[in-house]
Structure 1
Amino acid sequence: MLLEGSCHCGAVRFTVEARHPYPFNLCYCSICRKTAGGGGFAINLGASAETLTLEGGAHVRSYHARLHEDESGEVTYSEGERKFCGLCGSALWVWDPRWPELLHPHASAIDTPLPVPPERTHLMLGSKAPWVEPCIGPSDRSFEGYPDESLAAWHQRLGLER
């Protein structure tokens, strides 16, 4: 499925081909919540990095999330690049060099109507903010940490690959 996306101010526009376009994976970790999740979570889709086309690339900035600090004060950062618009701050996508073929657009940046998922996966609930009350449906799956299936496996299990 071809996804068209943009930032809020319109300075950045992109397209990307997604085999896994259902917005089902709600992540409650502090990184997603603070960089892209106004509702206490963020939703990432699965797309092919090689299909990315970009307008306004001069406005795209990267953020490597701070993972932790050890006793000596040394900070470890994520290898993943969280891309956002440098003008309006809109979260756009995540790309990680460990999986260079994948791109994870934020559902919130997509302008193309997305298909409604038949169920949702709530992950990293052990990291959710205390004020967040997840709305977990009867067929939804919940995980304190990472789920037991990938974006691809979820789409395949439900026969939803495009």
Structure 2
Amino acid sequence: MLLEGSCHCGAVSFRVESPHPYPYQRCYCSICRKTAGGGGYAINIGAQADTLEVTGAEHKRVYHARIDGTQSPGERHFCGTCASALWVHDPRWPELVHPFASAIDTKLPVPPERVHLLLDSKAGWVEPDVRENDKRFDGYPEESLAEWHERRGLVR
């Protein structure tokens, strides 16, 4: 599925192909929640890095979080004008890019269930909306993004 996204002010826009466009993972880690999580979590989608096309890249900035005192290689891309979170890319997995669902302008499909990640890191004021079919993890699930979509017949 072709995903089109942009920042709030319109300075940066992008297009990327996603074989897994269901926005199902809600990450409550402090990095996601503080850099992109208005609801106390962020939702990342999986996409193919080699298909990413960016307009207005000169307005884009990159943030590298510090984890246990060490700079992460993960690149959190955001608009330098309005600070909208756009996508995450980690050079350890060069074939992937993870746009934030909040930056996507394309109508996204509703996931049949959600996975709630790193709930042990959530802010005290956050009340996760965990439904009957949803999964909860204090860490990361053992099932990959691709496996989750394949198991549900959601691969496009």
Q: Tell me the TM-score normalized by structure 2.
A: 0.99
Residues 1:98 and 2:92 are matched in the alignment: yes
C-alpha separation in 1, matches of 2:35 and 2:147: 26
Residues in 1 aligned to 2:126 and 2:144: alpha-carbon distance in whole angstroms = 24
Aligned match for 2:101, one of 107, 113, 135: 107
The reply on whether 1:29 has 2:29 as its aligned counterpart is yes
The Cα offsets for residues 92-150 of structure 1, whole Å up to 9 and x where unpaired, read as 00000000010000000000000000000001001111111101000000001111211
1:43 is paired with a residue of what secondary structure? strand
Give the distance between the partners of 2:72 and 2:135, measured in 1 at CA.
26
Matching residue of 2:62: 62
Please name the residue that 1:2 is paired with: 2
Q: Which structure: greater strand fraction?
A: 2
1:69-80 correspondence runs (5 A): 75-80=69-74
Structure 1-normalised TM-score? 0.95
Q: What is the SS of the residue equivalent to 1:21?
A: strand
Whichever residue aligns with residue 139 of structure 1, its letter is N
Partner Cα distance (2:67, 2:92) in 1: 16
Consecutive unaligned residues of structure 2, counting only runs of 5 or more, are none
Mapped to 2, the partners of 1:132 and 1:66 lie a distance apart of: 23
Deviating runs (4+, > 4 A) in structure 1?
A: none
Residue in structure 2 matching 1:155, options 124, 139, 149: 149
The code of the aligned residue for 1:3 comes to L
- Give percent identity, aligned residues only: 70
3-state SS of the aligned residue for 1:82? strand
Q: CA RMSD in A?
A: 0.5
Q: Deviations over 1:59-118 (max 9, x none)?
A: 0100001112xxxxxx30111000000000000000000000100000000000000000
Kindly tell me the number of residue pairs found equivalent between the two proteins: 156
